[in-house]
Structure 1
Amino acid sequence: MIKHIVMWRLRGNSLAERRENSDLLRREFESLRDRIPGLLQLEIGIDHSHIDYACDVVLYSEFATQAALDAYATHPEHLRVKQALGDLRISRHQVDYAV
Protein backbone atom coordinates (compact mmCIF):
# COMPACT_ATOMS: atom_id res chain seq x y z
CA MET A 1 0.00 0.00 0.00
CA ILE A 2 1.12 3.56 -0.74
CA LYS A 3 0.19 6.50 1.46
CA HIS A 4 -0.07 9.80 -0.41
CA ILE A 5 -0.14 12.96 1.72
CA VAL A 6 -0.42 16.45 0.27
CA MET A 7 -0.59 19.79 2.11
CA TRP A 8 -1.51 23.15 0.60
CA ARG A 9 -1.36 26.81 1.51
CA LEU A 10 -4.19 28.55 -0.28
CA ARG A 11 -4.79 32.00 -1.67
CA GLY A 12 -7.00 34.45 0.18
CA ASN A 13 -6.68 37.96 1.58
CA SER A 14 -8.52 37.04 4.75
CA LEU A 15 -9.14 34.02 6.94
CA ALA A 16 -12.69 33.87 5.56
CA GLU A 17 -11.44 33.73 1.94
CA ARG A 18 -8.93 31.02 2.77
CA ARG A 19 -11.69 29.08 4.56
CA GLU A 20 -13.92 29.34 1.46
CA ASN A 21 -11.06 28.12 -0.72
CA SER A 22 -10.37 25.30 1.75
CA ASP A 23 -14.00 24.21 1.58
CA LEU A 24 -13.90 24.25 -2.24
CA LEU A 25 -10.75 22.12 -2.26
CA ARG A 26 -12.31 19.70 0.23
CA ARG A 27 -15.49 19.30 -1.83
CA GLU A 28 -13.57 18.76 -5.05
CA PHE A 29 -11.28 16.09 -3.63
CA GLU A 30 -14.10 14.35 -1.77
CA SER A 31 -15.87 14.01 -5.14
CA LEU A 32 -13.12 11.55 -6.14
CA ARG A 33 -14.30 8.87 -3.71
CA ASP A 34 -15.33 5.67 -5.51
CA ARG A 35 -14.18 7.10 -8.87
CA ILE A 36 -10.48 6.25 -8.86
CA PRO A 37 -9.41 2.60 -9.19
CA GLY A 38 -7.06 1.60 -6.40
CA LEU A 39 -7.89 4.60 -4.17
CA LEU A 40 -8.61 2.90 -0.86
CA GLN A 41 -9.06 5.87 1.46
CA LEU A 42 -9.32 9.64 1.12
CA GLU A 43 -9.52 12.14 3.96
CA ILE A 44 -9.34 15.93 3.86
CA GLY A 45 -8.43 17.98 6.92
CA ILE A 46 -8.80 21.76 7.19
CA ASP A 47 -6.43 23.48 9.61
CA HIS A 48 -8.02 25.14 12.61
CA SER A 49 -4.83 26.31 14.34
CA HIS A 50 -4.32 29.35 12.06
CA ILE A 51 -0.68 29.58 13.10
CA ASP A 52 1.49 31.40 10.57
CA TYR A 53 3.52 28.37 9.44
CA ALA A 54 0.59 25.93 9.11
CA CYS A 55 -0.77 24.72 5.80
CA ASP A 56 -4.48 25.32 5.19
CA VAL A 57 -5.49 21.85 4.01
CA VAL A 58 -4.11 18.31 4.12
CA LEU A 59 -5.09 15.36 1.93
CA TYR A 60 -4.45 11.90 3.35
CA SER A 61 -5.01 9.07 0.91
CA GLU A 62 -4.10 5.43 0.52
CA PHE A 63 -3.59 3.58 -2.75
CA ALA A 64 -3.46 -0.18 -3.25
CA THR A 65 -0.22 -0.03 -5.25
CA GLN A 66 2.30 2.39 -6.69
CA ALA A 67 0.75 1.72 -10.10
CA ALA A 68 -2.64 2.88 -8.76
CA LEU A 69 -1.08 6.10 -7.45
CA ASP A 70 0.70 6.64 -10.77
CA ALA A 71 -2.57 6.15 -12.68
CA TYR A 72 -4.34 8.60 -10.34
CA ALA A 73 -2.00 11.39 -11.47
CA THR A 74 -3.46 11.28 -15.00
CA HIS A 75 -6.96 9.98 -14.25
CA PRO A 76 -9.62 12.20 -15.90
CA GLU A 77 -11.44 12.81 -12.59
CA HIS A 78 -8.22 13.93 -10.88
CA LEU A 79 -7.41 16.20 -13.83
CA ARG A 80 -10.94 17.65 -13.57
CA VAL A 81 -10.34 18.50 -9.91
CA LYS A 82 -6.99 20.11 -10.69
CA GLN A 83 -8.65 22.23 -13.40
CA ALA A 84 -11.52 23.24 -11.08
CA LEU A 85 -9.07 24.42 -8.43
CA GLY A 86 -6.94 26.37 -10.90
CA ASP A 87 -4.35 28.55 -9.17
CA LEU A 88 -5.99 28.33 -5.74
CA ARG A 89 -2.76 27.25 -4.10
CA ILE A 90 0.22 29.29 -2.99
CA SER A 91 2.32 26.23 -2.18
CA ARG A 92 2.04 22.45 -2.18
CA HIS A 93 3.96 19.80 -0.23
CA GLN A 94 3.78 16.07 -0.83
CA VAL A 95 5.01 12.84 0.74
CA ASP A 96 4.41 9.36 -0.70
CA TYR A 97 5.57 6.27 1.16
CA ALA A 98 5.05 2.52 1.07
CA VAL A 99 3.75 0.60 4.07
Structure 2
Amino acid sequence: MTPRPDQPIRHIVMWSVAGTTEAEKTSAIDRVRTEFEALRGRIPGMTLLEIGVDVSRISYACDMVLVTEFETEAALAAYATHPDHLAARDRLEGVRIARHQVDYPVTRHG
Protein backbone atom coordinates (compact mmCIF):
# COMPACT_ATOMS: atom_id res chain seq x y z
CA MET A 1 0.00 0.00 0.00
CA THR A 2 1.62 3.21 -1.17
CA PRO A 3 0.70 6.28 0.87
CA ARG A 4 -0.67 9.38 -0.81
CA PRO A 5 2.00 12.11 -1.09
CA ASP A 6 0.20 14.18 1.58
CA GLN A 7 -0.61 11.27 3.92
CA PRO A 8 1.02 10.95 7.36
CA ILE A 9 3.21 7.91 7.89
CA ARG A 10 4.03 6.03 11.08
CA HIS A 11 7.53 4.64 11.59
CA ILE A 12 7.89 1.98 14.28
CA VAL A 13 11.23 0.48 15.23
CA MET A 14 11.71 -2.22 17.85
CA TRP A 15 15.13 -3.06 19.29
CA SER A 16 16.81 -5.59 21.46
CA VAL A 17 19.75 -4.04 23.26
CA ALA A 18 23.15 -5.35 24.29
CA GLY A 19 23.79 -6.53 27.81
CA THR A 20 24.06 -9.76 29.75
CA THR A 21 22.80 -8.36 33.06
CA GLU A 22 19.70 -6.34 33.90
CA ALA A 23 21.93 -3.36 34.77
CA GLU A 24 23.71 -3.50 31.41
CA LYS A 25 20.40 -3.71 29.53
CA THR A 26 18.96 -0.83 31.58
CA SER A 27 22.02 1.28 30.78
CA ALA A 28 21.70 0.47 27.06
CA ILE A 29 17.98 1.32 27.08
CA ASP A 30 18.72 4.64 28.81
CA ARG A 31 21.35 5.49 26.15
CA VAL A 32 18.95 4.74 23.30
CA ARG A 33 16.15 6.70 24.97
CA THR A 34 18.42 9.72 25.57
CA GLU A 35 19.68 9.77 21.98
CA PHE A 36 16.24 9.55 20.39
CA GLU A 37 14.46 11.88 22.80
CA ALA A 38 17.11 14.48 21.92
CA LEU A 39 15.72 14.44 18.35
CA ARG A 40 12.34 15.74 19.51
CA GLY A 41 11.65 19.10 17.84
CA ARG A 42 14.80 18.85 15.69
CA ILE A 43 13.48 16.84 12.74
CA PRO A 44 11.32 18.73 10.21
CA GLY A 45 8.02 16.97 9.56
CA MET A 46 8.19 14.71 12.65
CA THR A 47 4.91 15.11 14.51
CA LEU A 48 5.26 12.39 17.16
CA LEU A 49 8.12 10.69 18.97
CA GLU A 50 7.35 8.11 21.64
CA ILE A 51 9.64 5.56 23.28
CA GLY A 52 8.36 2.52 25.13
CA VAL A 53 10.26 -0.02 27.20
CA ASP A 54 9.01 -3.59 27.39
CA VAL A 55 7.67 -4.71 30.76
CA SER A 56 6.49 -8.17 29.73
CA ARG A 57 9.90 -9.82 30.03
CA ILE A 58 8.68 -12.46 27.57
CA SER A 59 11.66 -14.19 25.96
CA TYR A 60 10.69 -13.22 22.41
CA ALA A 61 9.88 -9.57 23.20
CA CYS A 62 12.07 -6.71 22.05
CA ASP A 63 13.48 -4.49 24.78
CA MET A 64 12.12 -1.20 23.49
CA VAL A 65 10.14 0.51 20.75
CA LEU A 66 10.32 3.86 18.99
CA VAL A 67 7.08 5.16 17.52
CA THR A 68 7.32 8.22 15.31
CA GLU A 69 4.94 9.88 12.91
CA PHE A 70 5.82 12.11 10.00
CA GLU A 71 3.71 14.53 7.97
CA THR A 72 4.55 12.67 4.76
CA GLU A 73 6.61 9.82 3.39
CA ALA A 74 9.06 12.45 2.10
CA ALA A 75 9.52 13.75 5.67
CA LEU A 76 10.28 10.19 6.82
CA ALA A 77 12.81 9.82 4.01
CA ALA A 78 14.45 13.11 5.04
CA TYR A 79 14.64 11.87 8.65
CA ALA A 80 16.57 8.79 7.51
CA THR A 81 19.40 11.01 6.26
CA HIS A 82 19.07 13.90 8.74
CA PRO A 83 22.49 14.66 10.30
CA ASP A 84 21.15 14.56 13.89
CA HIS A 85 19.53 11.16 13.30
CA LEU A 86 22.67 9.78 11.64
CA ALA A 87 24.84 11.03 14.52
CA ALA A 88 22.54 9.40 17.10
CA ARG A 89 22.58 6.16 15.12
CA ASP A 90 26.38 6.22 14.97
CA ARG A 91 26.73 6.86 18.71
CA LEU A 92 24.51 3.83 19.37
CA GLU A 93 26.53 1.42 17.24
CA GLY A 94 26.72 -1.88 19.11
CA VAL A 95 24.13 -0.86 21.72
CA ARG A 96 21.18 -2.08 19.65
CA ILE A 97 21.73 -5.70 18.66
CA ALA A 98 18.50 -6.51 16.81
CA ARG A 99 16.16 -4.22 14.90
CA HIS A 100 12.68 -4.63 13.44
CA GLN A 101 10.84 -1.93 11.54
CA VAL A 102 7.38 -1.22 10.15
CA ASP A 103 6.36 1.91 8.23
CA TYR A 104 2.73 2.42 7.26
CA PRO A 105 0.33 5.18 6.22
CA VAL A 106 -1.73 6.62 9.06
CA THR A 107 -5.46 6.59 8.54
CA ARG A 108 -7.41 8.83 10.88
CA HIS A 109 -10.91 7.68 11.79
CA GLY A 110 -13.62 9.75 13.42
Shorter-chain TM-score bucket reads over 0.9
In structure 2, which of residues 80, 100, 105 is the aligned counterpart of residue 98 of structure 1? 105
Larger Rg: 2
Which position in structure 2 is the counterpart of 1:5? 12
Tell me the percent identity: 58
Q: How does 1:1-99 map to 2 (within 5 A)?
A: 1-99=8-106
Q: Structure 1 unaligned runs (5+)?
A: none
TM-score by length of 1: 0.97
Moved more, 15-24 or 28-37: 15-24
**Cα shift at 1:35:** 0.3
**Cα shift at 1:15:** 1.5
TM-score by length of 2: 0.87
1:37 aligns to what SS in structure 2? coil
**Cα shift at 1:86:** 1.1
CA distance in 1, matches of 2:55, 2:75: 31
**Cα shift at 1:49:** 1.6
Q: Structure 2 unaligned runs (5+)?
A: 1-7
**Cα shift at 1:34:** 0.6
**Cα shift at 1:89:** 1.5
1:91 aligns to what SS in structure 2? strand
**Cα shift at 1:73:** 0.4
**Cα shift at 1:28:** 0.5
Aligned residue type for 2:12: I
In proportion to residue count, which structure has more helix? Answer: 1
